[in-house]
Structure 1
Amino acid sequence: MHKRLGDFIQSKYFKSISQLTTGSFIAQIITLIVAPISTRLYTAEQLGVYTLILTLLTIFGPVICGKYDLAIVSAKDDKEVMELIWSSTIFSVLFLFFISIFYRFYLTSYPEIIDEVGNFAYIVIFMLFIRAFTNILTSYNNRYKEYKTISSVYVVRSLVQNIGLVLFGFLKFGAIGLLFSQLIGSLFGLRKQSKHLYKNILGLKFVRIQGIKNVVKKYRKQPIYSMPAHFLSSTSYSILNLFISSLFGLSTFGYYSMSYRILGLPLSLVSMNVSKVFFQKATEEKSKYGNYYKAFKQITLLLLSVSIPMVIILISFGPYVFELFFGEGWYIAGVYVQILAPMYGIRLIVSALTPALIVSGKQRLELIIQSCFLSCSVLAYLICKLFTLDMSAFLSIISISYSLIYIVYLIIIYKLSLAKN
C-alpha cells in the first residue's frame, strides 16, 4: 500500500491534483482566518438569513447549465466543444427564467429574509447567471488541463469575497453586506479563466443551430439523468437548511450554518478538485484499457489518508475549537460538527469518485442513489417533528442514514471501475 501510494505521489496525476488543491488550500485558509472575525461582525441570525438565500445558489448552481458543461471535458473535438458551450449557455438562460419564478414564491415562505435584506435578496439570481459562465469556463480549463488557472482563480475569489465580508461587516451592512461580498467575489477571475477560450472565439461564431441540436441529442443523458441526480444531491443537503430553520429556529440554524461551512472546507479543498482530475483520468483509462480501476484505487487511497485523520480530529476537539475560535456561544456548532464528522469523512471520498457514473454511462443509477439521500432527509424531518426531537437527534439520524448510503455508493463505484467495455 505504501509503495502504491508513493508511486502515485510521483505521478503527473498527483501533480495535477496538487496544482488544484494548492489554490483551494490558500482560499480555504483565507476563509478560516476570516471566519472568527465574521462571527463577531455578524449575528447568528444574519448568517442564517445569508445562508438561506444562498441555498438557491447551492441547489441550482451546479446544474444551471443542465450538466452540458461537464461534457466539454470529454468532447471529441474542438467543434463539439464550441457547440456544447452554446448548448450550456442557452440551457442556463432558459432555466434561470423558471428559477426566478420559483424564487419569488420561495421568498414568500420566508418573510424574515425580506425583513432583513429587502429586494437585495434577488442578487442571488445574478449570482446564478455568473455561476453558469463559471461552470462552462471551469470545464473548458479542465479539458485543457489548465489547473494553475483554476487554482489561482480560487484564491482571488476567496480573497476578494472575504475582504468584502470584513469591510461590509465593519460598516454594519448586516446580511446585505454578506450578499454583496459573495457577488463581488464571484466576478473576479472570469477574465483569466476565459483567456484560452478568447483565443478560439471564432469557433463560437461558426456554430450552427443543427450542431447545437446534435450535441443536445448526443449528450441528452446529462440533463435527463446527471442533472436531476446532482440536483437531488445538492437538495439533500440544502433542504436541511429549510428543515432546521423550520424545526429549531433561525438562531439554531445560524450555528448549524457555520458548522456546515467548516465541514464543507475539506470538500472544497480536496474532494471537488480531486474529482476534476479523476474524471479526466478515468475517461482516459476507460478509453485506453476498458476500465478505470487504477484511477479508482489511487484516489481512494489518497482520500482515505486525508479523511481518517480529519474525522478523528473533529470528533475529539470540535466543540472546544469552535468555542475558542469563533467566540462565546459557538460551542454548540462544534457539537454539531462532532455528530456529522463521520458522515462527512465518507462523503469526502465518495464525492470525488461520483464522475465514475458518467464515465460508465450509469447516470440513471446516480439519480436513484441521490433520491435515497433526499428521502432520508425528509424522513428525518418528519420523525423529529412528530416526536418533538431536538437538533442533536435530527443530525444523528442524518449522519447515520447518509453514511450507509455513501458506503453502498462506494461499493457500486468500485464494481463499475472493474467493468470492461
Structure 2
Amino acid sequence: MKLSEIRKSASQFVQDKLSKKSWFLRAAGALAGGTAIAQIITLLALPIVTRIYTPKEFGVLAIFISILTSFSAISCMRFEIAIPVPEKDGDAANLMALALVICLAISLISGVILLLAQNHILNFLGNQDIAKYLWLIPVSIAILGFYSALQFWSVRKKRYGAIVRTRFKQSFGGSATQILLGWLGWGGAGLILGYLVNSAAGILGFGRQIFREDKDSLKKIRLKKMREIGGKYIKYPKYSVLEVLATNSAVQLPIIIMAASVSSTEVGFVLLASRVIAAPVGLIGGAISQVYLSSAPKNFREGKLVEFTLYVINQIIKIGAGPLCFLGMISPMVFPLVFGNDWRRAGMLLAWMTPWFLLQMIATAIAMALHVTDNQKAALGANIAGFVIRAGGVGAAAVVVPSIASEVYAVSGFLFYSLYLATILVKLDINFISLVKAVHKNCKPLILWISVAILIDVLLWSAS
C-alpha cells in the first residue's frame, strides 16, 4: 500500500471517529439540554412545594411511588426495552404492540388484586393514609407502561426532540399541579396527582408522532407476528422481569419498611433527598443512557461495544461526577436555607446518598450492554444479590437500630451499584486497568468541584 493511501485511510478513520463522537455528544447534549430545563423547573418548584406540604405528606407520596414503581416496571413484561434492538422497524412495531397489550392486561389484573387484598396490603404497609389512593395504582401502571413503550420507540427512531419536549411537559405539568392542589388544601392527594400528571405528560405527543410518521411500520402489526416476535425476544421477560423486580424491590421495599418501622416523615426526607440528587443523575446519566441504548446494538454487531462503552463511561465521569459530588458536599448546609428548617434531615441524607448515585449514574447508563450481549442471567443475578443487600440491610437496621435505617439504605445502594457495575465490566471483558486509563484524565474537574464545595461549606459554617 502506498504512503498516500495509508495517510488517506488514517485520515478517514480519524474523521469517522470524530464524527461518531460528535454525533454522540450532540445527541446526548440535546437530551441533556432539554432535561436540564425540565429539571430546573422541578427544582425551582421544590422550595415552594416543601413549604406547602409536610414531610409526612411527602412520606405518603413516597409509599405510593414505592408500590407503583415495584409493579409498573414490569407492566410490559420488559418487551418494551427490546424495541430498539430489531433491525427491521416492522419487528419493532410488533414488539411495541405486544408490550402495550400486555400492559393493559397487567393493569387490569393489578386492579383485581388490589380490590380483593386491600386490607392485607394496608396491614403490610402499616400506613392507613395511603388507603384512599390505592385505586389509582392500576391506572398509573397503565400510564407508565404506555409511556415507557412509546418512549423506547422514540429512542429507536432517534427522536430526541420529542423526548425533550415530553420532559418539559412532565416537569411543568407535574410541578404546577402539585403547587395548585397544595394551595387548594388537597394535602397528600395533590402530591400524588401531580406525580401522575408528570408521568402521563407526553403520551399523546408520542402517539400522534408515531401515527403520523410511522404508518408503514404500524401496518405490519399482526397478531401472528406479535406471537412470533414475542417468542424471539422471550429472554427479556424470562430474565429481565425478575431482574427489574429485584432492582425496584431493592429500592422500594426499604422505603415501605422504613415507613412501617420508623415513620412516614422519615421516608418523606428520603424522598426529597432522592428527588434533588436524581436531578443531575437524570440530566446526565439519563440522557447518555438513551443515546447509548440507541447505538449499542449497532456497535455490538460491529464489534465495537467495548470501545463505545469505555467512551461513554469517560464522558459521564467528565461531565457528571464533579457536579454530583459538589451537590452532596454542600447539601447539609444548603437544604435548610432552600427548603426550610424542617428539611435539614433531608440534606444530611443526600450527602450519604451521593456515592450511591454516582455509581448509579454510570451503571444505569451502560446497563443495556448486558441485554444487548445476551447476558440477562448476569443482570438477574446481580439484581437479586442487590435485593438481598439492600432490603436485608434496611430490614436488619429497622429491627436493631431504626434511627440509622436511612443511612443503611444509602450505603446499601452504593454496595449494590458497585456490584452491578463490576458485573457489566466483567461481561464486556473490560479490566480495571483499562477503565482507569479511560477516566484518569478527567479527575482534574472533579477536584475543582470538590474544592469549591469545601469553600462554600466553610463560608456558610462561618456565617451560621
Deviates more, 1:178-187 or 1:43-52: 178-187
State TM-score, norm by structure 2: 0.82
Counterpart selection for 1:37 from 28, 37, 48: 48
Q: Which runs of 4+ in 1 moved over 6 A?
A: none
Shift of 1:201: 4.2
1:329 counterpart residue number: 342
2:329 counterpart residue number: 316
Distance in 1, matches of 2:218 and 2:351, equals 49
Deviates more, 1:102-111 or 1:266-275: 102-111
Shift of 1:217: 0.4
- CA deviation profile, 1:130-168 (whole Å, cap 9, x unmatched): 112111211111111100001111001110111111101
1:141 counterpart residue number: 154
Give the secondary-structure state (helix, strand or coil) at the position aligned to 1:361: coil
Counterpart selection for 1:154 from 159, 162, 167: 167
Counterpart selection for 1:110 from 118, 121, 125: 125
Give the secondary-structure state (helix, strand or coil) at the position aligned to 1:329: helix
5 Å-filtered alignment, 1:23-34, equals 23-34=34-45
Distance in 1, matches of 2:232 and 2:314, equals 34
Q: Is the 8 A contact 1:380 1:397 kept in 2?
A: no
- CA deviation profile, 1:177-197 (whole Å, cap 9, x unmatched): 112222333333222212332
Q: Give aligned-pair identity as a percent.
A: 20
Distance in 2, matches of 1:389 and 1:404, equals 25
Distance in 2, matches of 1:351 and 1:294, equals 17
Distance in 2, matches of 1:264 and 1:102, equals 31
Shift of 1:206: 5.2
- CA deviation profile, 1:352-380 (whole Å, cap 9, x unmatched): 01000011111111000001110001321
1:343 counterpart residue number: 356
2:440 counterpart residue number: none
Residue identity in the other structure for 1:303: I
- CA deviation profile, 1:324-378 (whole Å, cap 9, x unmatched): 1110121111111111211211111111010000111111110000011100013
User: Is it true that 1:271 corresponds to 2:285 in the alignment?
Assistant: yes
User: Is it true that 1:409 corresponds to 2:429 in the alignment?
Assistant: no
2:86 counterpart residue number: 75
Residues 192 and 394 of structure 1, relative CA distance in 2, 3 Å threshold: same
User: Is it true that 1:255 corresponds to 2:269 in the alignment?
Assistant: yes
Residues 108 and 307 of structure 1, relative CA distance in 2, 3 Å threshold: same
Give the gaps of 5 or more residues in structure 2: 1-13, 435-464
- CA deviation profile, 1:65-105 (whole Å, cap 9, x unmatched): 11111222122323212211221122112222333345434
- CA deviation profile, 1:364-417 (whole Å, cap 9, x unmatched): 110000011100013213431443252255236425533542452353254279
Q: Is the 8 A contact 2:277 2:350 kept in 1?
A: yes
Structural RMSD (CA): 2.5
5 Å-filtered alignment, 1:372-411, equals 372-391=385-404, 393-395=407-409, 397-411=411-425
Counterpart selection for 1:66 from 61, 64, 77: 77
1:283 counterpart residue number: 297
State TM-score, norm by structure 1: 0.90
Q: Is the 8 A contact 2:47 2:339 kept in 1?
A: yes
Instruction: Count the aligned residue pairs.
Output: 412
Give the secondary-structure state (helix, strand or coil) at the position aligned to 2:127: helix
Residues 120 and 218 of structure 1, relative CA distance in 2, 3 Å threshold: same
Q: Is the 8 A contact 2:257 2:395 kept in 1?
A: no
Residues 19 and 61 of structure 1, relative CA distance in 2, 3 Å threshold: farther
User: Is it true that 1:98 corresponds to 2:109 in the alignment?
Assistant: yes
Residue identity in the other structure for 1:132: G
Shift of 1:120: 3.5
Distance in 1, matches of 2:228 and 2:32, equals 36
2:447 counterpart residue number: none
Residue identity in the other structure for 2:77: G
Deviates more, 1:390-399 or 1:62-71: 390-399
Residue identity in the other structure for 2:234: R
Residues 367 and 57 of structure 1, relative CA distance in 2, 3 Å threshold: same
Residues 9 and 29 of structure 1, relative CA distance in 2, 3 Å threshold: farther
Give the secondary-structure state (helix, strand or coil) at the position aligned to 1:339: helix
In terms of Rg, which structure is larger? 2
Counterpart selection for 1:240 from 249, 254, 259: 254
Deviates more, 1:309-318 or 1:321-330: 309-318
Q: Is the 8 A contact 2:93 2:218 kept in 1?
A: yes
Residue identity in the other structure for 1:333: A
Counterpart selection for 1:293 from 298, 306, 322: 306
Q: Is the 8 A contact 1:310 1:345 kept in 2?
A: no
Shift of 1:36: 1.0
Residue identity in the other structure for 1:11: S
User: Is it true that 1:226 corresponds to 2:240 in the alignment?
Assistant: yes
Deviates more, 1:42-51 or 1:194-203: 194-203
Residue identity in the other structure for 2:52: L
Distance in 1, matches of 2:417 and 2:292, equals 22
Distance in 2, matches of 1:188 and 1:341, equals 29
Residue identity in the other structure for 1:88: A
Distance in 1, matches of 2:424 and 2:230, equals 30
